[in-house]
Chain A
Amino acid sequence: MNYNWNWRVLFEQSPTGEGSYLHLLLTGMQWTLATTGLVCVLAVLLGTAVGVARTLPFAAVRIAGRCYVEIFRNIPLIVQLFLWYFVLPELLPPDLARWVKQLPSASFWAAVIGIGLYMSARVAEQVRSGIESLPSGQSMAAKAVGFTIFQMYRHVLLPRAYRVIWPTLTTDLTNTVKATSVALTIGLSELTAQANAMQEFSFQVFEAFSAALAIYFVVNMAMLMAMRRVERYIAMPGYSGGR
């Protein structure tokens, strides 16, 4: 191995003129966190709606929910991002298309929507299995006391389902952090993209990617610990993890 290790490169000025290489990576981390945050909101909201739809007693809604999940789950994420970023604007009227294309953070919003929908399909499957894992007596009891379908989901099924699926949702959260790196293909300057830029400028490949690795690790560990804390708090007695 003939490699010139130089960890101090992290504190050297990057040619972008905005600060050190470490600063470059940290701004990348900010985009990674911002994307992850919005993706999670979108994924949980849409995922819950679709997951519920897949368990409703209406065949048409169930089929629609199934189609949604299969489409967004089975198309590779990178293809979905390309479709949102490059193909969708071409289908719009020319003036609107031009406006969309020249939005200042077009790649950020495309990433949020693209990754958000992809993750929502995964969350939907979990919500569905969480609801289906509950004993049928739960929904029967809710109906027996006169709850509407909305009330049944709102007060009985969803709160319990979420407590069941929380551990697997944690996995999806960490997957989301990693999935945001795909957004570099549509020009989002997130952490991996910045590590790429750093190695291109300085040729210090291993330092750039090691630093990115450490940052991903710290971010994911922090999220995992927060999720674990909530998990312990909400665990149901009698279910896995409960006392």
Chain B
Amino acid sequence: MISKFFGALTLAALALGTTQASGQNATSTLKKIAETGSITLSVRDNQLPFSYIDDNQKVMGYSLDLCNQVVGAIKIAVGLKAIDVKTQLVTAQTRIPLLANGTVDLDCSSVTNNAARQQQVAFSNTTFLTATTFAYKKQSGLKTITDLKGKTVVSIAGTNNIVQLNEANTKRDLGIRIVGAKTMAEAFLMLSTDRAVALVTDDILLASFIAASADADAYAISTDAFAPVEPYGLVMRRDDPEFKRVVDKALANYFATPAAIETYNKWFMKPIPPKNITLNFPMSAGLKKAFAKPTDSIDPAAY
């Protein structure tokens, strides 16, 4: 009886898989936007300064500003005077299903572009570059990755960062005790309560949590990186080259204007809501290059 049931379950799953696969290419995002007169952007509530919610429940951020530029270009591409722009709050778990089933058309948060993920979604031109570094308390005197030898270090479970930390740990035989926290907030709590001496994740994420903490001066970010830079991009459905072309072109056009640098500085160099903290995160040489010559490459050498 049990084996029969599993047989049926497998069959159902396979059937689901094949029908969905054959249904691909059916949606053209531009056509859909033209027909409905609306576009839905997916946003996150806690990815400061890319996509987050302030005290007035208003979604804002660097990625959202870029998306608004893209929406302007889409408007022209589909020949509409106005498009209704909707936002949909998503989490790491709901982002892909909602994009796949057409609820969301463009993801405006901060998503690392890599080969594995390109099997499932398409990425726009690179909008930001990040490196895996670690934050530490200045008084602990840790500066380089080697200083972490034998210590307890926290990272966020299920991220590329913890993988890179694992790799460095084995390769350099550091004997680091690695703890995985579920969210960045928990990970930072572990660092601030001395549960871990260092927190390994994207440098920009570290900068934002340090800037927001009660004693920002007590923390520092290492200059030593675990891996080469990783590009962030806006995320779209795969197999829709027409839509990707419009998005990429819109970003490329915008990056060529001084307004793009201003937008960068607005979010990374100046006080931002809700607490008026300043990230102090100057534009890296790699990103300057990516603005001058827009690319969606995942090769670190491209930046």
Contact = CB atoms under 8 A, between A and B. Distances in A.
A120 to B, nearest CB: 25
Nearest to A205: B96
Given A187-B180, A202-B119, A203-B119, A1 B100 contact: yes
Secondary structure type dominating chain A contacts? helix
B20 interface: yes
A17 B163 contact: yes
B194 interface: yes
A168 interface: no
B7 interface: no
Contacts of B13: 7, 210
Contacts of A90: 193
A110 to B, nearest CB: 11
B301 interface: no
Interface string B93-115: 10011011110000000000000
Contacts, number: 118
Interface residues of A, number: 39
A206 B97 contact: yes
A5 B167 contact: no
A205 B239 contact: no
A197 interface: yes
B57 to A, nearest CB: 24
Given A4-B238, A193-B157, A201-B158, A187 B96 contact: no
B180 A202 contact: no
Interface string A217-236: 00001000000000000000
Contacts of A86: 189, 193
A2 B24 contact: yes
Interface of B: 2, 9, 13, 16-18, 20-21, 23-27, 92-93, 96-97, 99-102, 116-117, 119-121, 152, 157-160, 163, 166-167, 170, 177, 179-182, 186, 189-190, 193-196, 237-240
27 contacts: A2-B237, A3-B20, A3-B97, A3-B100, A3-B101, A4-B119, A5-B18, A5-B20, A7-B13, A17-B163, A17-B167, A86-B189, A90-B193, A101-B194, A106-B179, A106-B195, A189-B157, A189-B180, A197-B158, A199-B92, A201-B116, A201-B163, A203-B117, A203-B120, A203-B121, A205-B96, A210-B13
Considering the complex of A and B, which 9 residue pairs feature the smallest CB-CB distances, nearest first? A197-B158, A203-B120, A101-B195, A3-B100, A5-B17, A200-B158, A205-B96, A203-B117, A102-B152
